[in-house]
Amino acid sequence: MNAVSLFDNISEDLPGELFTVLAAGNGVTIERIVSKGHASAEGEWYDQETREWVLVVKGEARLQFEGKDEMHLKTGDHLFIPAHARHRVVWTPKDRETIWVAVHFS
Amino acid sequence: MNAVSLFDNISEDLPGELFTVLAAGNGVTIERIVSKGHASAEGEWYDQETREWVLVVKGEARLQFEGKDEMHLKTGDHLFIPAHARHRVVWTPKDRETIWVAVHFS
């Protein structure tokens, strides 16, 4: 039972988003996602089998659900994403990390 | 699908720790806990049926597992607490909020 920091083990250079599983079990996965200028490709939507709860721990982002206006998420903002709610990351800042915690559950 | 801030809806005066369920389903509960000088009573241990993953989003705390040294948790620190791992919150600062996110799962 050792504590680990969400802010550790992030390399300076992130060619793609960094996904790290923090804990998992019984249909639940808790992961850290680090973005640095990353966004979903134009026209690319996440369409997930599982429910997701997501929190912006550091940084900020713009997120869009299909057919809806973009949302601006700032540090501390969280939301629940139902299964198959098509969504994409529109923007994250290039000059600093945005750190998310995502909990996926069925 | 609206975003909500972890930093909102915290009253100035917290007679006890504040527990707010953020999302739940299928044996999973995600909650926010706000502490402000709160700690477990002397000799009082949490002994939980479920597994817990906990993250300090803001503030800091000291946590102890039974028979182990105290751990200092700072902002960004997270850890996994197995079911029935007896533990207590030894200290949180009185002068500012400590905000935790806890995910309980079976």
CATH code for position B87: 2.60.120.10
* Cα A32 from Cα A20, distance rounded (Å): 5
Per-residue confidence (pLDDT) for residue B26, from 0 to 100:
86
User: Residue A2: pLDDT band by 50, 70, 90 thresholds?
Assistant: confident
A33 CB neighbour count, 10 Å cutoff: 19
The pairs formed by A6-13 with CB atoms below 8 angstroms and a separation of 24 or more are A6/A32, A6/A57, A6/A58, A6/A99, A6/A101, A6/B55, A6/B76, A6/B77, A6/B78, A7/A58, A7/A99, A7/B76, A10/A34, A10/A97, A10/A99
What number is the average pLDDT over the span B20-39? Answer: 95
What number is the average pLDDT over the span B81-96? Answer: 96
What does the DSSP assignment read for B84-104?
T--EEEEE--SSS-EEEEEEE
* Cα B88 from Cα B78, distance rounded (Å): 15
- Tokens 């400590």 locate to B98
What number is the average pLDDT over the span A72-100? Answer: 97
Residue B2 covered by a domain = no
Share of chain B above pLDDT 70, in %: 100
User: Residue B30: pLDDT band by 50, 70, 90 thresholds?
Assistant: very high
Residue A85 covered by a domain = yes
Check pLDDT > 90 for residue B88: yes
Contact (CB<8Å) B26/A74: no
Domain that holds residue B42: 18-105
Residue B12 covered by a domain = no
* Cα B98 from Cα B37, distance rounded (Å): 9
Q: Which residues from chain A sit within 8 angstroms of residue B52, using beta carbons?
A: none
Residue B10 covered by a domain = no
Per-residue confidence (pLDDT) for residue A106, from 0 to 100:
85
Check pLDDT > 90 for residue A96: yes
Share of chain A above pLDDT 90, in %: 89
**Is residue B65 less than 8 Å (CB to CB) from chain A?**
yes
Q: Assign B67 to helix, strand or coil.
A: coil
Closest CA to B72 of B87, B89, B58: B89
Contact (CB<8Å) A78/B26: no
Per-residue confidence (pLDDT) for residue B106, from 0 to 100:
85
| Span A52-83, pLDDT tens digits | 999 999 999 999 999 999 999 999 999 999 99
Residue of A nearest to B8 (CA): A76
Residue B22 covered by a domain = yes
What number is the average pLDDT over the span B19-40? Answer: 95
Contact (CB<8Å) B1/A105: no
Q: What's chain B's average pLDDT? A: 95
Per-residue confidence (pLDDT) for residue A1, from 0 to 100:
72
Distance in Å, alpha carbon of B105 to nearest chain A alpha carbon: 8
Residue B5 covered by a domain = no
ipTM over 0.90: yes
A11 CB neighbour count, 10 Å cutoff: 8
Query: Are A33 and A17 within 8 A, CB to CB?
Result: yes
Check pLDDT > 80 for residue B24: yes
Residue B29 covered by a domain = yes
Q: A105: which 2 tokens? A: 């559950």
What does the DSSP assignment read for chain A?
---EETTSS--S--SS-EEEEEEEETTEEEEEEEESS--PPTT--B--SSEEEEEEEESEEEEEETTS--EEEETTEEEEE-TT--EEEEE--SSS-EEEEEEEE-
Number of domains in chain B: 1
- Tokens 């629940």 locate to A80
